[in-house]
Structure 1
């Protein structure tokens, strides 16, 4: 009975203690107490149980909240009184109670937040730094790649612009080459009008008595010019339409052939004189019978115009070739050729108009300069009186002539009437005249002569050109005379200079 009373008293005490706890704690505590009672009652099954006691309501409202630590302390003091066999179950019970209390006292957590933690996701400081460096490097690589792509695009764009610019200039050059070929065809047709028209008619029909033997002077070597252009030059220029780089080499290769224009221009003044005599009579009659639109002088001037035109076309071709940054070596050579040949042709044509000179003009050497200048011929005691003169400077002589305009027609060029001359080996040069910056003086050193030629140039540059050229030929004459008089001493002097 005393044992039963002790169990009942303990149960009542536990009931009173659990009343102070939350409902869940009380339930767990009561369950643990019942389990413990049952375990103790098993060995005392034969003891008679006392009559049941009336159930009393021991619940009450605590004046203050009991802390979790107090509950744990009470449970620990009670459990410490139990036998060692109950220790394990009591410890489990304490752990369960502690977990329940902890769960009740912790603040509620937002279920939307994931409280799970994966340790594998934790990164060390080095890993974080490495990752940041990798991301930085990737960004830099991306930016560098974009910059390289932009530079490549810019380079491609610039290259396309350069190619477009080059194509533009090559296209312009092609237009000039096409013009060169087209005008060559027209030129050959004009020459054919002379050769197959006038020359054939005059050959197959009797000439007026006054024209006998003059037909060769009228046409000169134009038949030779026609044959070469028709058979060679036209075909060569046609090839240039598909191979523009051939243009320069053509003029260089046929340089000697082109000098036939010099011969034609040398004869041109004589031809003009004869044609002007019979233009309104005989040659007009022939033109009408042939049905030509152009008059004979219009056709005979074509070779002179053509040899001058080549130079202009080559200049344009060279200009566009340079802008297209292509090789211009042969073109530059060709342009030099077509500067020299027309000048020589024009010089000989001008000399061919010189009349009244007793000597043989072709024996005076190469024509170096020609121009229209103001000249005053001064003798001892004479006054200066300047007149316009056409001056021709050859290697052996300088000739002064008067220009006479033709009054017969508009097709004839002026003629030059011989007035005076000085031989180079018997003249001296004074390149300054006091107070006159454009003038220089030539003096005849022939014994017994006191003639002085005061020449006024058109500009200082023009004066410098004439003075430089005259001094050059005077030096050559001096060297030549020294070589004739003292060949050994002259050779030693040349060797010393070397």
Structure 2
């Protein structure tokens, strides 16, 4: 769109005929179309008795208008001054006025002197004595007759009144000039319309959801833009046709208008500009239409991309402990799902390459999506291999666990079935020992490798491994006892249970209690924090004094005047802000108050609360900080600051010390929190909590005011809205009950992003602009959009569908704003503040209702604001519109109060009442 606006030619309309029409119609001067030597344009000043009465300004406009008609560069002019029936005094006056008022390159002035003997003689004598004066200003030739005029100008370039053959009609010339100038204005208007249309196209917000499957071409806003395009295009073609007819009339208006002259005329230039506009407009709309089509393709491609993202298909298969057949089925299920996803990936990647091959404007984004899909394919393949390996391990583990479980059961059964009576003989003990050794030789391979290897290879079998360890321990104990019996023939007394209990699992060191954790005791105490507060306050005051004396006061030092730019000396208040005021407050008042609380820390909270209003000066300092930083960046390399820093022996520059007030303001709330931490159940705790709240509110107020100064486009005085209470960014939907609705609001498929500012008397809706500038110069700005007076605002706290949404409605739901907060906490904070404002308004109205109306009280309606005709129209208006427009302050009562009164009152000749069945206020005034 920017390229299209650059291609549109700038159409300018010079001085118009309407501005000098009265004098042109009187034929004070005219352009006959004739040309003199070197193609000089001839301007004729015929006999005019009222020439001397024409004001100088009007005559200068006439000459300027006539000299602007020929547009050739370096054109010269010849003036024919016809004074054959006049006197020398008139000629002298006319020449003087021409010399003073003519703006062009005057080549020659041909004067036809009076024809009567007396006046001719006087003219000759007067011109002889004044010739040198005139020749210094302009070349003047005094002619005796019309015949002498032919020596300077060809008769074909002279009109009939000068003996020439050039046909000229002044009335036709005026008609033609009026038509040409009207055409120029029309061309200028159509250029502005095209620029506005291009701007509207550029500002049209396209939907970022494919949910509007009707397509971009079927949306209401796009249909409106298409209708505007065809209307503008038809208008442009009509104007081009009119321009061609105008050129044809100009070409054949007179045979003396040669083809070369017509080509240089204003009409031809305007026609060429129209053709350029037509070409630029056609090219722009074709590109814009192509971009819309590609945008729709991109939306559909993005939807396909989002739909084929890797789902959690790899977690759908669980480890089954019952049978390996279910594991095999899960593996086949994963293979089938992954195969379908990989096929979809291939299709979308192919589609992306096709879009890129068609030179799509979002080629980079599409290729990025294709690369992401390839990465997804690789990730899917790797995850599939990992899952396949894990499932095979699971299958093998299930088989091994089954074998181990069977072996353990057989071992326990073997031990339980060995008869103790047979152990009394050596042969019986040896036989039992051989049975156990044979059983151990037949153990599964996974059990023979040892518990450590098993735990590493199969972490999931930790419970079975513990059971295996318990069984092995039992077997080893039995082996030892049997060997003893075989050697000593000692009767054993130990019995084995069929299935031993699992030994208790030892706790992992990761879950054991932590030892050696040093719980540091509080190193600070209430007096310590108090001393820190006072000591840092003294340092802060000393630093402020050093800045004011070492920099600000040095600006008046004559010895350093050569190092200081003059413009910087005049802007010291911008650079330092109200730092002197802050220093005076802290050095003379606040530091002394804090020092008085050194032995009585319980009074610190009261000290802050007492000086609460004085801390508002920091808000002024913070609001000036952006201007101060901009000025510092402009002059930071100034040798004056370097010299001052050297004298003060500061390691940091001035900009670091200019941040001290802001840093100190933040430090206060931290120190107050520390004091409150060590002041539980102590005297002055409530005041300390109040001081902390006050400082936090001050920080919030400063932050809000910093955003407020970035509001642009608000025509009124923002200070009249009261103090800014809250501000923040929200998603907003707007709906109107009736009335004209902008196309952007009808076709909006997504919420508007608005930054809301809540004041005591109004609610502002602004649009946050992108930060502009480079580096640290970046600052946000807020463009003003809407203003809602709090006297006509209502809220609905809950909106169906989203707990973070609430409604702000205006003028009896004439306008409804659905606001979505970023979090539920932000929503509740805003609702509490809005509820507080509305509650205060209701209390005020209730107080007015309870106040009796004196018999001498009069309701004075300002007739200059609302005339009687306006009142008649408002009587027939709907409820919301009537209440909106009848908010006039009337002798201490307002129409909002009368609207809620619901009773009939008479005050003098004015009556206010409620009509049953129609909720609107009726005003009977006078004879209405």
Q: Same fold (TM over 0.5)?
A: yes
Measured after TM superposition, the shift of residue 177 of structure 1 is 0.9
Q: Are 1:415 and 2:825 an aligned pair?
A: no
Evaluate the alpha carbon distance shift between residue 183 and residue 372 of structure 1 in structure 2; reply closer, same or farther with a 3 A threshold.
farther
Distance 1:490 1:390, change over 3 A: closer
> 2:895 is matched with which residue?
485
Distance 1:334 1:422, change over 3 A: same
Residue 438 of structure 1 pairs with residue 804 of structure 2: yes
- Asked if residue 392 in structure 1 is aligned to residue 757 in structure 2, the reply is yes
Partner of 2:598: 241
1:370 match: secondary structure: strand
- Please give the alpha-carbon distance, in whole angstroms, between the structure 1 residues aligned to 2:768 and 2:527: 46
Distance 1:370 1:418 in 2: 14
2:182 matches 1:182: no
RMSD across aligned positions (CA): 3.7
Alignment deviations for residues 262-291 of structure 1 (CA, whole Å, 9 cap, x no partner): 232233333333334433557754665555
Q: Quote the residue 2:703 is aligned against.
A: 346
Q: CA deviation at 1:172?
A: 0.8
- Is residue 218 of structure 1 aligned with residue 628 of structure 2? no
Distance 1:465 1:484, change over 3 A: same
Which residue, 314, 317, 321 being the options, matches 2:672? Answer: 314
Instruction: Please tell me whether the aligned partners of residues 755 and 782 of structure 2 are also in contact (alpha carbons under 8 angstroms).
Output: no
Distance of 1:486 and 1:454 partners within structure 2: 24
d(CA) in 2 for partners of 1:182 and 1:416?
Answer: 39
Instruction: Mark the structure with the bigger radius of gyration.
Output: 1
Residue 473 of structure 1 is matched in structure 2 by 837
Tell me the distance in 1 between the aligned counterparts of 2:748 and 2:830: 24
- Given that 1:287 and 1:296 are in contact with CA atoms closer than 8 Å, whether structure 2 keeps it comes out as no
SS at 1:473's partner residue?
helix
- The answer to whether the 8 A contact 1:440-1:456 is kept is yes
The whole-number CA distance in structure 1 between the counterparts of 2:686 and 2:838 is: 35
Q: Report if the CA contact (8 A) 1:431-1:467 is conserved.
A: yes
Structure 1 distance, partners of 2:651, 2:772, is: 24
Q: 1 CA distance for matches of 2:733 and 2:796?
A: 15
Partner of 1:274: 631
Q: Structure 2 vs 1, CA of residues 491 and 295 (structure 1 numbering), >3 Å: closer, same or farther?
A: farther
1:184, distance to aligned residue in structure 2 (A): 1.1
Q: Of the two structures, which has the highest relative contact order with CA contacts closer than 8 Å and spacing of 6 or more?
A: 1
TM-score, length-scaled by structure 2: 0.31
**Deviation of the 1:180 alpha carbon:** 0.7
Q: C-alpha deviations, 1:428-466, integer Å up to 9, x for none?
A: 54444442332234456599xx87644321112211222
Counterpart-to-counterpart distance in 1, 2:685 and 2:525: 16
- In structure 2, do the counterparts of structure 1 residues 217 and 446 end up closer, same or farther at CA, with 3 Å as the change threshold? farther
Cα distance in 2 between the residues matched to 1:405 and 1:422? 23
In structure 2, the CA distance between the partners of 1:489 and 1:427, relative to structure 1 (3 Å rule), is closer
1:86-485 matched pairs, under 5 angstroms = 172-204=525-557, 205-206=560-561, 207-211=564-568, 213-281=570-638, 285=642, 288-290=645-647, 291-322=649-680, 325-375=682-732, 379=742, 380-386=745-751, 388-399=753-764, 400-405=766-771, 407-410=773-776, 414-424=779-789, 425=791, 427-442=793-808, 445=811, 453-474=817-838, 483-485=893-895
User: Which structure 1 residue ranges, 5 or more long, are not aligned?
Assistant: 1-167, 494-498
Structure 1 276/477 Cα, relative in aligned 2: closer, same or farther at 3 Å? farther
User: How many residues of Structure 1 are paired with residues of Structure 2 in the alignment?
Assistant: 322
What's the CA shift for 1:408?
3.7
In structure 1, distance between residues paired with 2:643 and 2:730 = 42
Counterpart residue number, 2:858: none
Structure 1 contact 173–320 (Cα < 8 Å) conserved: yes
The answer (yes or no) to whether the contact 1:422–1:444 under 8 Å persists in 2 is no
Give secondary structure in 2 for the equivalent of 1:322. coil
Contact 1:276-1:408 within 8 A present in 2 as well: no
Q: Which runs of 5+ in 2 are unaligned?
A: 1-520, 736-741, 846-886, 904-928
Contact 1:265 1:345 in 2 (8 A): yes
Q: TM-score, normalised by structure 1?
A: 0.55
| CA apart distance, 1:396 | 2.5
Query: Structure 2: how far apart are the matches of 1:382 and 1:460?
Result: 29
3-state SS in 1 of match to 2:763: strand
CA contact (8 A) 2:729 2:756 kept: yes
CA distance in structure 2 between the aligned counterparts of 1:363 and 1:279, rounded to whole angstroms:
37
> 1:243 Cα deviation (Å)?
3.0
